[in-house]
Each structure stands twice: as C-alpha cells, then as structure tokens.
Amino acid sequence: MKDEFRELYQEIILEHNRSPRNYRKMDDCTHVLEGRNPLCGDHYIIYLKVKDDIIEDVSFEGSGCAISKASASVMSTTIKGKSLAEANEYFEIFHKLVTGEADADAYFEKAGKIAAFSGVSEFPVRVKCASLAWHTMHNALENKADKVSTE
C-alpha cells in the first residue's frame, strides 16, 4: 500500500473513532443484533431498518477499541440507503480487505472508505476488532443468530 494512502486511511479511522457516525439506538428498527469480541472487550448492538429490500437506516451503540468503533461507523455510512445485495457485496469486499485476500487497489473504486481497513490485515489480532460490526450486520440481515461472537 502506498504511504500516502496509508496516511489517509489512518486519518479516516481516527476521525470515525473520534466522531462516530450513526451512533445511537434506533427504536423503529426491523433488525437488531448484538455482537461481542470477548478477547478485547468490543461490544456493539447493530440496528437496521429495512423496507422493500433497502436499508433505510442503520445505527449502532456500544463500546470498543478505536478500530472496532471506526469500523462500525464506516459500515453504517457505507450501507445506509443500499439494497441488501449491495450490503452483502460490501461485506464481502470488507472481509477480503481485512483478511488480506485482496488489496485495496483492487477495490479502490467500489470500496471507498472501507479501504481504510485494508491495513488491518497486517495485524491479524485486530481483524476480529475490525470485522465485528460487519459480521453482526450481516448476520442480522440474514437472521442467523441471537448474538455474534468473534470467538
């Protein structure tokens, strides 16, 4: 990854940690799911409001490390207003970026701010932090679990 992009990506993560977007409880959600990362204590609840296959609103609450909070914030801004199919596509791209299966350059156009998390692949212990909100969102939309755990 080029140094200028690495610096930009770090700033995106820091900004979303300092001022998380969509950080609130949603009372009229259609999907809600709790996710935990027991290893480092990240804990979030993801709220989604879906109507006619479109994610009309998304929010989250909880606490965790800077990477997990920034990831939840970026996830919420990325999928808001998108179709379920688009949200699943972003989930797949995010997963490939944080696990090192793909490099940010491969998805630069589509990935947008989620490319900021591609550097996480260099720190395997942080992959669970970055992916917690994304897995929780994905499982909520698929009605897969009562809770999500990274363990």
Q: Where are the domains of the chain?
A: 3-143
Q: How far apart are CA 70 and CA 82, in angstroms?
A: 20
Higher pLDDT, 82 or 124: 82
Give the whole-number percent of the chain exceeding pLDDT 70.
95
The stretch 78-93 carries a mean pLDDT of 96
Checking if the pLDDT of 3 tops 70, the result is no
pLDDT tens by residue, 15-74: 999 999 999 999 999 999 999 999 889 999 999 999 999 999 999 999 999 999 999 999
CATH number, span 3-143: 3.90.1010.10
> pTM here?
0.91
Checking if the pLDDT of 78 tops 80, the result is yes
Checking if the pLDDT of 100 tops 60, the result is yes
CB-based contact 88:79 (threshold 8 Å) = no
Lowest mean pLDDT among 36-40, 98-102, 107-111, 136-140: 107-111
Q: How far apart are CA 101 and CA 84, in angstroms?
A: 23
Q: What pLDDT sits at residue 4? A: 56
Residue linked to tokens 């669970």: 128
The stretch 109-136 carries a mean pLDDT of 89
No. of helices (H) and no. of strands (E), the chain: 5, 4
